[in-house]
Amino acid sequence: MIRIGIDCGVTFTDIVVVEEQKVSVHKIPSSPAEPAKSVLTALQKFVKQGEEYLLKHGPALPQSLTSGKDFNCLLVTNEGFEDLIAIGRETRSDTYSLNPDSTIPLVAEKNRIGIKERLAADGKPLVPLEQKEIDRIKTLVKKAKPDAVAIALLHSYSNPENEIKIQDSLKDLGIPVVMSHKILPEFREYERFYTTVINACIHREMNEYFSTLEKNIKNGERNLQVMQSNGGVTGLDIASEEPVRTLSSGPAAGVVGAFKAGKQMGNKKIAAFEMGGTSSGICLCEGTIPISRELEVSGYPVALQSVDRKETGPGTGAMAWVDDEGMLRVGPDSAGNDPGPICYGKGDRVTLCDAHIFLNRIDPDNFLGGEMIIQTDKIPDAIGKLSEQIKKKGGSSPSDEEVAEGIIRIENSRMSREIRNLAQEKGCSLSDLTLVAYGGAGPLHACEIAEALDIPTVLVPMHPGVLAAVGMLEADIIEDQSRTVLLSSEIPRVSSAIVKNFRELKDLVREKLKDAVPEGGKIEFEEYVDIRYPGQSSELRIPYSRGFLQAFHKEHNFIYGHSDSSIPVEIVTARVRGRIRQSGNENPKEKLKSNTPPGKALIQERSVYYGGEVLPTPYYLRNLLDPGNQISGPAIILEYSSTTLIPKGFEGSIDPWNNIVIEKIEKK
């Protein structure tokens, strides 16, 4: 059977095709106006008629969510809480701005309906829901003719009865209804409300997308698995009903691929660094892939279990400019896909990508293996204009080469700072990690970032520019279920109460995965509890075991520098993760060959500007390098999906799995 991973990005759709041990990678232009088109084009191009295949797919962000369009959705909530999604947490994205930007609520004020109903935190009714209120809501919904309805009532995680009553009353209208206790049965109403609202707002668009795929894929339900933000895949039926699960599928899959590459070489402690055309990001993995419920998409909270990855910048589309003081700046604005960098033929502002091309760090003749034409003629004049602006405003006289390298150094410095801040926040020692670099541009920046952060080793895995698609093929089927329980450690038989909730959550997982378990297969379960001290506003996620309370105190001491085992704690949320393991794409381990790269791998030598010097630099084709080959910097390694820069003072080697391992040469 052919196995295919397809990751839809903003600019390109990445495709990995695996047939037995043969792996091929491809990139085709994405089609934002018809998002299913690029997926179906890939299948027609790379799967022969009648061939059996399994497609693992990560959809692009819904255009409706990124374009800021007005959604025709209704929110039904408690009377007096209609404006909750507008008020939010009153946090400021820019602490020191006098006029901070704020996100516009996805549901307009006129589409938020209050209902007379109220539950206590334990689920007991305070204000009962009367039939006349249900009838009123139905009348309003029928009149509005929305695309979907989100029902989010206070404390419905404790007692979902009233949300179900409202949904039942709307069934005959044929309008999709999303209930908060199904999407996120946890406390913190703002996050639960918004996660539910997002699912309702994107429901129609994503359903049409998945329906198009299903209609055009033979046995679509059986042959298609959809990547989720939590690092696992799910079935088409679940993804169609809860598309909010897929909003960070590509970034999550990239981390899965990076973690697998590090694990294969014997290192589970990695910093997964991705840099593409539109964004860059980092995920610090200290033995496992970290999971969080603090995902933000387009500024809106999605409080589902997601791979804990942080955005670090706009990617190689970051545009350079000169401020009023004559200082060179980069970003935060990006050229994106349209108009894109100057080298794409439509842009007119210098981007990070253009700077690399100007300094010969990217070979325009080998971009995407020569499939994409890169236009270099307008780049020198555009960089020259930046130089002139600096001279006029700042008085200094940098050369064009210094300006281009300055653009790269500014971005490296900013990304290094973001990574260092995250490591300090997590209590993570970067010197213990391996930097796994991927994305089209990650391997171009990796060595300089690793040097700035004292990370000793850089690993560039096979096919780095399409690693998200590779990660999808590596992903297991995963189903997460959770429930807010709010138990005190002082109550009698607290462990029994927790285990009872685990049993019920496992039953939910089994129901969701009943059609996914292969013959003779099984679901592996992981159990977690979110715990805090009384009065705290955040929790720590602890694997459940007999000693879970001691584990909490120990983790709290590690994270915050103090703990007190004499204080009773609150068990806030019970979590269960069900996993069905799937065979991945195992890179075979090969024997090491000569230290010297074969002559055919060296295709040219060009002058590259680096560190204020013009250095003769060899260019190698990665697919012609053998395990055991060693390459001293400066050198550039070309491949279809990416370019790797080995700077002066570094040395790279090809390991037995054909990864590139780069380390700084120790000075004697």
* Tokens 């260092």, residue located: 420
Its domain, for residue 180, covers: 69-92+101-201
CATH number of 573's domain: 3.30.1490
pLDDT at 219: 67
pLDDT at 336: 75
pLDDT at 505: 97
Last residue of a domain, one of 190, 223, 256: 223
pLDDT tens for 68-115 read: 677 899 999 999 999 999 988 877 777 787 777 778 889 999 999 999
Q: Is residue 390 part of a domain?
A: no
Can you tell me the mean pLDDT for 477-498?
Answer: 95
Cα(523)–Cα(579) distance, integer angstroms: 5
573 with 541, same domain: the answer is yes
* Tokens 């690693």, residue located: 467
140 with 41, same domain: the answer is no
126 with 56, same domain: the answer is no
Three-class SS of residue 320? strand
132 with 158, same domain: the answer is yes
In this structure, the number of other CB atoms found within 10 A of the CB of residue 488 comes to 11
pLDDT tens for 467-476 read: 999 999 999 9
CB 162 within 8 A of CB 549: no
Q: Which residues contact 388 (CB under 8 A, 6 or more apart)?
A: none
158 with 116, same domain: the answer is yes
76 with 195, same domain: the answer is yes
Does residue 568 surpass a pLDDT of 90?
yes
Q: Is residue 322 part of a domain?
A: no
* Beta strands 148-151 and 177-179, pairing class: parallel
C-alpha distances (whole Å) from 196 to each of 30, 155, 241, 243, 558 are 28, 14, 12, 11, 34
Phi, psi of 543 (to 5 degrees): -60, 135
pLDDT tens for 283-326 read: 999 999 999 998 988 888 999 999 999 998 888 999 999 998 89
36 with 75, same domain: the answer is no
Element (H, E) at 502: helix 494-512
Q: How confident is the model at residue 548 (pLDDT cuts 50, 70, 90)?
A: very high
73 with 61, same domain: the answer is no
* Beta strands 73-78 and 112-115, pairing class: parallel
C-alpha distances (whole Å) from 573 to each of 304, 487, 538, 577 are 13, 9, 11, 13
Cα(447)–Cα(318) distance, integer angstroms: 20
In this structure, the number of other CB atoms found within 10 A of the CB of residue 313 comes to 21
pLDDT tens for 20-32 read: 778 889 988 888 7
- Provide the percentage of residues in the chain whose pLDDT is more than 70: 99
Considering the chain, what is the average pLDDT of its residues? 91
520 with 573, same domain: the answer is yes
Three-class SS of residue 182? helix
* Tokens 């679940």, residue located: 238
| pTM for the model | 0.93
CB 76 within 8 A of CB 137: yes
pLDDT at 139: 96
115 with 191, same domain: the answer is yes
Cα(486)–Cα(507) distance, integer angstroms: 21
pLDDT at 45: 87
Q: Is residue 279 part of a domain?
A: no
pLDDT tens for 406-462 read: 999 999 999 999 999 999 988 889 999 999 999 999 999 999 999 999 999 999 999
Cα(453)–Cα(398) distance, integer angstroms: 27
173 with 219, same domain: the answer is no
pLDDT tens for 116-136 read: 999 999 999 999 999 999 999
Nearest alpha carbon to residue 309 among 267, 257, 357, 353: 257
Q: How confident is the model at residue 380 (pLDDT cuts 50, 70, 90)?
A: very high
* Rounded to 5°, angle at Cα 637 from 632 and 640: 165
* Beta strands 457-460 and 434-438, pairing class: parallel
Q: Is residue 266 part of a domain?
A: no
Can you tell me the mean pLDDT for 153-171?
Answer: 96
- Of 664 and 368, which is predicted with more confidence? 664
pLDDT at 11: 77
Q: Is residue 623 part of a domain?
A: yes
Can you tell me the mean pLDDT for 326-355?
Answer: 88
Q: Is residue 496 part of a domain?
A: yes
pLDDT tens for 502-522 read: 999 999 999 999 888 877 779
Does residue 527 surpass a pLDDT of 80?
yes
61 with 75, same domain: the answer is no
* Rounded to 5°, angle at Cα 502 from 286 and 287: 10
pLDDT at 151: 97
CA 396 to chain centre: 41
CATH number of 23's domain: 3.30.420.40
Can you tell me the mean pLDDT for 627-631?
Answer: 96
Last residue of a domain, one of 189, 223, 257: 223
Q: Number of folded domains in the chain?
A: 4
Element (H, E) at 296: strand 295-297
CB 167 within 8 A of CB 179: yes
Q: Is residue 9 part of a domain?
A: yes
Can you tell me the mean pLDDT for 211-227?
Answer: 83
Report DSSP state, residue 228. Answer: -
Can you tell me the mean pLDDT for 388-414?
Answer: 91
Does residue 184 surpass a pLDDT of 90?
yes
Q: Is residue 271 part of a domain?
A: no
Three-class SS of residue 237? helix
Report DSSP state, residue 157. Answer: T
CB 462 within 8 A of CB 487: no
Does residue 668 surpass a pLDDT of 50?
no
